Amino acid sequence: TSSIKELCLEKILLQCIIQSRTLSGADAINALRPFYFAVHPDFFGQHPKEREVNENSLKRLNGYLENLQKPGFRSFKPTQLTFYVREREPNSSNVQESFSTSGFRAVSFTLHTRDLLSTVLDILNSCSLSTEHIQSLNVNSQPHKEAKSTQNRPIKWDKTYYSFTGFKDPEEDLEQAQRVETTLTSWLDDNEASAVKKLKKSLPLRKELERLKNELSHQLQLSDIRWQRSWGIAHRCSQLHSLGRLVQQRPEVLKNVKGRTVVFTDRSGMSAAGHIMLGTMDVHHHWTKIFERLPNYYKLQKRLLFLEDQISQLLGGIQVIYIEELQPLLTLEEYYETLDSFYNKLLDSRLRFHPHSLRGLQMILESDRYTPSLHEFGHFTIPTVCDPATLQWFIVAKAQEARENLKRKEEMMITEKELIGTSTEKFSLDRLYKEPSVSSAQMINCCKRLLEESLPYLQGMHLCISHFYSVLQDGDLCIPWNWKS
């Protein structure tokens, strides 16, 4: 009877193996194409906060998918993800063009499946995307015919199967995981060792990055070197090495960069904030052209500042500003066109504001909004298409509230800086920082609650306040600002 039991068990295990291999990694990527088009950060250029959330969630999703493909990988924990999903456009047959560039919705879901096919189906269904195309994929590349009838139906074994074989019951695991909500201490318990290992591995590269950055900043007399995206340390080092080689090969083209900030980003040019943008996918030839064009960029920047001043005079002295953290990354040319169009609209409308009546107030221009708003930090967000009469009424009506918000912003910035310093010192952190999508109010709330805890795990670590739990590739610990104790 023992040999019969062993034979039955082997047959059961064979069926499990067949089912878990019904979708290859390449098939999974292909099946998720509509999902990637709906959430890819590159389509959220006008929405920096949503773009960053999707970037972080994609990193964690890719890690989950990679783990599914590792042979013998068993340690699965439910992974909660949030994506901003672009709304579908009706009557469009092209997958890439069928998604809107303006409308989107937030979708949150938890992954707990242990095979690629179920995971892909879960993702698509959670985002209300069609799964019909999966039927046309060759999802069963193994020559076992019996798998076809079960490829979309997970095997549900009787509880006695798990007690007999000693295997874990996935349903029981999931129920227990859902009952026990992730807490800060439990997550740190589970992930501290992994973070320490990655951090130690990254330390030599971190030192090299700091050396290269200081060397180039001093050599070119730059104000700063920054990165638009959260690239890994190795990636950043290679970008600085590339800039260093250009300095050696063409030192004459870099004579106009003194006092400027260089930002490594997706495209080359000059940003609306006046920073030199170096596209990470561009070759030296493109970078050289940007450096050669700098004198012309500086002339355009002077015209842009004059245009901002003219708009300010027409609007009672309110200051037109550009906030990198809250606005899309625009080139100098794009921002100049936006300002010029808005200025001409104001001239045509013949609005009348009392001179200097709005001095001390601030506003930003956005091309993807239709109604004006007042930000918690005190600046007005004004759509370029805003009706001039509506604009005038809104600014005048909200002027006092804007001044109060600006004053509160200064107080919050001071409080936030103090709490970051106190938290860094108490926990002996190497670094404490936040993602741009985390507001000052959220950061203050997070730090105040952290200071009430005893967290020896954090000594010497790099802690990032985010919206999710994750360990970055270089060992930074990311925790949500609203973590549970």
* CA distance linking residue 231 with residue 234, whole number of Å: 8
Q: Tell me which residue has tokens 């030199």.
A: 276
Token pair for 218: 């001093």
Q: Encode pLDDT of 393-438 as tens digits.
A: 999 999 999 999 999 999 999 999 999 999 999 999 999 999 887 8
Pick from 95, 115, 97, 101: nearest CA to 15: 115
Q: How far is CA 401 from CA 72, 179, 397, 398, 450, in A?
A: 59, 44, 9, 5, 32
Is 108 or 361 the better-scoring residue by pLDDT?
A: 361
Residue 48 contacts residue 109 (beta carbons within 8 Å): no
Is 69 or 64 the better-scoring residue by pLDDT?
A: 64
Characterise 430 by phi-psi region: left (phi > 0), alpha (psi -120 to 50), beta (else): alpha
The whole-model pTM stands at 0.65
Report angle CA 90, 94, 96 to the nearest 5 degrees. Answer: 100
**Is the pLDDT reported for residue 304 higher than 70?**
yes
Give one DSSP letter per residue of 233-265, joined into a string: HHHHHHHHHHHHHHHHH-GGGGTT-TT-EEEEE
* CA distance linking residue 14 with residue 21, whole number of Å: 11
Identify the pLDDT of residue 457.
83
Instruction: Work out the pLDDT band at 37, boundaries 50, 70, 90.
Output: confident
Instruction: Work out the pLDDT band at 334, boundaries 50, 70, 90.
Output: very high
**Is the pLDDT reported for residue 100 higher than 70?**
no
Pick from 29, 19, 22, 33: nearest CA to 65: 29
Token pair for 187: 């997550």
Characterise 338 by phi-psi region: left (phi > 0), alpha (psi -120 to 50), beta (else): alpha
Q: Tell me which residue has tokens 């006695």.
A: 160
